[in-house]
């Protein structure tokens, strides 16, 4: 009975947490980096101390939202990498999946990557880099794993795959950040240009024996 009660309480807490994250999402979509704990608490119909009880501080809420959106983004990137197409098409699809995601929800992107831009006076101590850098590192490690699994890079494949994974993510992030702010060209043009930049040794590398072609 006691175990069941704890399970029910945990389920209720998880459901409440999801509700609060959905409320936070709505505020972020509206306010972007300017989303405040006060506004999120008001959207959820609770007081700010209750919000702090669930997430600790803005950093805790940020980390929970980042997990939610990064999981979705990584799923779309993996789907693009697994699509039945040749390597160049899959590279372009992966680049496009990332750019499409930040274009579709620019306020969410800015909240995750530039949270200090619109922070309130009471939240100016929020450390942007401490929270946004791990997101990029997680994406780099995920992409490195895919590259290592599918491309034969020789005896030093693990190290090189990590270099490439983090390098590609860094390129996508920097180019996407610039493009989202200035819109100097179409998304399709940017995808082609970035794919051209990558299309050197990656195009010439062999597939791993017995593994799916990348």
- Within a domain: residue 106? yes
Closest C-alpha to 74, from 162, 139, 168: 139
Token pair recorded at residue 22 = 């959905």
Is residue 26 in some structural domain? no
CB 192 within 8 A of CB 92: yes
Tokens linked to 44: 């959820």
Interatomic CA distance for residues 138 and 87, integer angstroms: 23
DSSP reduced 3-state for 7? helix
Domain count, the chain: 1
C-beta neighbour count of 31 within 10 angstroms: 17
Q: What is the rounded distance in angstroms from the CA atom of residue 23 to the CA atom of residue 39?
A: 10
Burial status of residue 59 (CB atoms within 10 A of its CB: 0-12, 13-18, 19 or more): middle
Using a 10 angstrom Cβ sphere, with 0-12 exposed, 13-18 middle and 19 or more buried, the burial of residue 6 is: exposed
| Domain with 166 in it | 59-207
**Res 124: pLDDT:** 45
pLDDT computed for residue 184 by the predictor:
95
| 74 burial level (CB within 10 Å; 0-12, 13-18, 19+) | middle
pLDDT tens over the chain, length 214 residues: 656 666 877 787 788 889 999 999 999 989 888 888 899 999 999 998 888 888 888 788 888 888 888 888 888 988 888 888 888 898 899 999 999 999 999 998 888 888 666 555 445 444 545 556 777 888 899 889 888 887 788 888 999 999 999 999 999 999 999 999 999 999 999 999 999 988 876 666 666 665 556 6
**pTM score:** 0.78
Alpha carbon distances (Å) from 199 to 32, 195, 213: 35, 6, 16
**What confidence score (pLDDT) does residue 125 get?**
45
Print burial letters for 37-56: b (CB count within 10 Å at least 16), e (below 16): bebbbebbebeeeebeebbe
CATH code at 185?
1.10.357.10
Nearest residue to 53 via CA among 16, 8, 22, 100: 16
CA separation for the pair 84, 105 (Å, rounded)? 27
């Amino acid at each position: 009975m006691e175990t069941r009660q704890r399970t029910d309480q945990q389920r209720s807490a998880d459901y409440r947490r999801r509700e609060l994250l959905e409320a936070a999402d709505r505020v972020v979509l509206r306010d972007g980096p300017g989303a405040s704990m006060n506004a999120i608490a008001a959207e959820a119909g609770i007081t700010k101390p209750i919000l702090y009880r669930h997430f600790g501080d803005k950093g805790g809420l940020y980390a929970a939202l980042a997990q939610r959106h990064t999981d979705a983004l990584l799923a779309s990137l993996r789907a693009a990498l697994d699509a039945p197409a040749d390597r160049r098409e899959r590279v372009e699809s992966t680049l496009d999946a990332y750019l499409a995601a930040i274009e579709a929800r620019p306020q969410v992107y800015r909240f995750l990557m530039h949270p200090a831009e619109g922070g309130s006076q009471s939240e100016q101590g929020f450390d942007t880099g401490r929270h946004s850098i791990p997101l990029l590192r997680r994406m780099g490690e995920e992409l490195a794993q895919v590259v290592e699994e599918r491309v034969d890079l020789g005896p030093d494949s693990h190290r090189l795959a990590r270099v490439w994974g983090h390098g590609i993510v860094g390129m996508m992030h920097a180019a996407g950040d610039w493009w989202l702010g200035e819109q100097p060209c179409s998304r399709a043009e940017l995808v082609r240009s970035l794919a051209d930049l990558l299309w050197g040794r990656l195009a010439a590398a062999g597939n791993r024996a017995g593994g799916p072609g990348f």
